[in-house]
């Protein structure tokens, strides 16, 4: 009896699932969703290439240093790098003294050794990059009610992360007349900025890079155009999200070569053992 009951219950759920699926498919075919401004005008990230791309790609440390300069002088006012310690910057080619100087240029939360009270002190190499705002309320108040996201893992948190960041930074533009013609209610609200690479087309962040030469690069570097600066900071954020990228690729290559060698060796052993045997 129990077995029959369980079969009937399973059959009921199977029929219910099939009916729901059929009804949903029929509705999707006969009543397609109305077009939206986001669907019609949202753009996929532009194609862009970085030195770290591909199985044999390696970080361009000079570019990473330029990207860090962009973050420090432009992005750090709103965005944190909570998963990156100052001492990690040595991987970019900075010396120990340079790292100490960079860390000291940031104020991090500390404790007064005499009173035990919380205070702010100059950063040390072992500290992590501090948050630019004391709390979420302060962050919202300064950014049109939006909380700027942490950038440490951003290239991993977004589809086509590096290309998305590059496209977003360089994608600010006036709303197209065609959009307002077909979707008059989609006008960018006061205080927001139109960007077709953002999911809902409007975001609170103002264009971070507004003009060529906004950040001054040192000698031996390319001209700091908006396009170049956007590529450099995107490359830097590839590193913050995966600082061991080069090591992972080297390990993967060694493992692949070993497996190829083992496969050939195994095949040769098989041929040697079974060469004279009849099936």
Give the residue ranges of DSSP H helices in the chain.
2-30, 37-41, 61-73, 96-104, 136-142, 154-157, 161-170, 177-182, 226-241, 245-274
Each residue's pLDDT tens digit, 76-106: 999 999 999 999 999 999 999 999 999 999 9
Residue burial 240-263, b: 16+ Cβ < 10 Å; e: rest:
bbebeeeeebeeeeeeeeeeeeee
Each residue's pLDDT tens digit, 161-173: 999 999 999 999 9
Tokens of 153: 């893992």
Each residue's pLDDT tens digit, 4-36: 877 877 787 788 888 888 777 766 677 666 668
CATH superfamily of 37-84+129-243: Cytochrome c-like domain (1.10.760.10)
pLDDT at residue 196 is higher than 80: yes
90 neighbors 99 (Cβ within 8 angstroms): yes
For the chain, the structural domain boundaries read 37-84+129-243, 245-274
* pLDDT averaged over every residue in the chain: 90
């Amino acid at each position: 009896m129990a077995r029959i009951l369980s079969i009937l219950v399973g059959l009921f759920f199977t029929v219910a699932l099939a009916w729901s699926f059929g009804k949903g498919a029929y509705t999707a075919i006969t009543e397609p969703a109305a077009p939206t401004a986001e669907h019609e005008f949202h753009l996929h990230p532009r194609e862009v290439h970085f030195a770290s791309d591909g199985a044999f790609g390696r970080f361009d440390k000079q570019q990473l240093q330029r990207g860090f300069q962009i973050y420090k002088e432009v992005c750090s006012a709103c965005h944190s790098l909570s998963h990156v310690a100052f001492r990690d910057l040595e991987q970019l080619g900075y010396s120990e003294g340079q790292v100490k100087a960079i860390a000291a240029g940031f104020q991090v939360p500390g404790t007064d050794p005499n009173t035990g009270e919380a205070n702010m002190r100059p950063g040390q190499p072992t500290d992590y990059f501090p948050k630019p705002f004391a709390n979420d309320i302060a962050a919202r108040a300064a950014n049109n009610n939006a909380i700027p996201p942490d950038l440490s893992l951003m290239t991993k948190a977004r589809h086509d992360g590096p290309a998305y960041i590059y496209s977003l930074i360089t994608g600010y533009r006036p709303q197209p007349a065609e959009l307002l013609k077909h979707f008059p209610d989609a006008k960018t609200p006061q205080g927001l900025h139109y960007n077709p690479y953002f999911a809902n087309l409007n975001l609170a962040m103002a264009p971070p890079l507004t003009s060529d030469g906004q950040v001054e690069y040192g000698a031996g570097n390319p001209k700091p155009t908006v396009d170049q600066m956007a590529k450099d900071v995107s490359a830097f954020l590839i590193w913050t999200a995966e600082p061991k990228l080069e090591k992972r690729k080297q390990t993967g290559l060694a493992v692949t070569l070993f497996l190829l060698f083992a496969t050939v060796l195994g095949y040769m052993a098989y041929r040697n053992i079974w060469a004279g045997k009849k099936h």
